[in-house]
Structure 1
Amino acid sequence: MKKLIAGVVLGVALTAVAHGAGDPKAGEQNAAVCAGCHGQGGQKPVMGVYPKLSGLGEKYLFNQLVAIKSGNRVVPEMTGILDNRSEQELRDLAAYFDSQEMIVSQANPDLVDEGAALYRGGNLATNVPACAGCHNPRGNGNEPGGFPALGGQNAEYLAKQLKAYREGTRNIGPNSAIMIDVAAKLTDAEIKAVSSYISGLN
């Protein structure tokens, strides 16, 4: 009987770890400072170059917060903001923002066809894989793999990040190597089109 109880307790503990240990309610209490740039709930940033944080994926958000705090991902606007946050507080913030609904932007109608083709099928001529392979056909991401949900994200922010990957200035974590390889093959026009398309994807 003791072994059975121990097994149940261990199973519950492993399930909790597998699904993340962040507390959205605790995260909400610490998210007020974030609203100045990212908007309430991380849904409406004050500038297009700032990311929406809502619904991106708890694992991805936590990893980015850790990278920014450690200095492995340099975001000048975030300097010092996370310095006094514990790992648990970062997990709570990630859980809170992931629990918020993404508000979808409006794609440029003139770029939808080109952007959709790249997102869904890539570019065979230049060996660019389809974005949908990692980020889901609907832009919902892949939480276990740590690939963020992209659908609805600001086009300006997406374009900035793709160019950073292309230039090698954003290079943290195992998934960065994939993005650096992909972005290296994208033209400015392709980046603009696919970023616009993703911004209207839900």
Structure 2
Amino acid sequence: MKKLAIIGLIAAGTMSLMAADGAALYKKCAGCHGAHGEKHALGKSKPIKGWSKDKLVESLKGYKAGTRNVYGMGGLMKGQVASYSDADIEAVSEYISKF
């Protein structure tokens, strides 16, 4: 029983180390959106500061799928999030939603 508990703790620790880091992921976004999501990206979009996590997840998944093209930024944003896993999208959305 103790061995199972230890294995469970090790697995949980490993998973948290592997969890996506929203702050690190957001670094590539900050150039256009600002350090705290306060900028109009490339002078076109509305600031993302104040958006809910759900709205951010939906938007990023839409860009990744190629089904979202707001302000003509669909292609650019698709490239930005193409490498993001669902866990990355969740993590960066959670991070941004705290601005």
Deviation at 1:143, TM superposition (A): 6.6
Once the two structures are aligned, what percentage of the paired residues are identical?
40
Contact 1:154–1:199 (8 Å) recurs in 2: yes
Computing the radius of gyration from Cα coordinates, the structure with the larger value is 1
Q: 1:149 aligns with which of 47, 51, 56?
A: 47
CA distance in 2 between partners of 1:153 and 1:118 (Å) = 17
Corresponding position of 2:35: 137
Corresponding position of 2:12: none
Q: How does 1:97-116 map to 2 (within 5 A)?
A: 114-116=21-23
Deviation at 1:115, TM superposition (A): 0.7
The alignment of Structure 1 onto Structure 2 pairs a total of residues equal to: 81
Corresponding position of 1:186: 84
Q: 2:73 aligns with which of 157, 175, 195?
A: 175
Q: With structure 2 as the length reference, what TM-score do the two structures score?
A: 0.71
Tell me: CA distance 1:142–1:171, structure 2 relative to 1, closer, same or farther (3 Å).
closer
CA distance in 1 between partners of 2:41 and 2:78 (Å) = 20
More helix by share: 2
Does 2:25 align with 1:118? yes
Tell me: CA distance 1:144–1:188, structure 2 relative to 1, closer, same or farther (3 Å).
closer
Taking CA–CA contacts closer than 8 Å with sequence separation of 6 or more, which of the two structures ends up with the larger relative contact order?
2
Corresponding position of 1:161: 59
Tell me: CA distance 1:150–1:169, structure 2 relative to 1, closer, same or farther (3 Å).
same
Runs in 1 of length 4+ with deviation above 3 angstroms? none
Contact 1:134–1:147 (8 Å) recurs in 2: no
Secondary structure of the residue aligned to 2:73 is helix
Tell me: CA distance 1:183–1:144, structure 2 relative to 1, closer, same or farther (3 Å).
closer
Two-structure CA RMSD over aligned residues (Å)? 2.0
Corresponding position of 1:97: none
Secondary structure of the residue aligned to 1:131 is helix
Deviation at 1:172, TM superposition (A): 4.5
Unmatched segments (≥5 aa) in structure 1: 1-109, 121-129
Contact 1:162–1:191 (8 Å) recurs in 2: yes
Tell me: CA distance 1:170–1:157, structure 2 relative to 1, closer, same or farther (3 Å).
same
Tell me: CA distance 1:172–1:200, structure 2 relative to 1, closer, same or farther (3 Å).
closer
Q: With structure 1 as the length reference, what TM-score do the two structures score?
A: 0.37
Does 2:80 align with 1:199? no
CA distance in 2 between partners of 1:166 and 1:143 (Å) = 18
Secondary structure of the residue aligned to 2:43 is coil
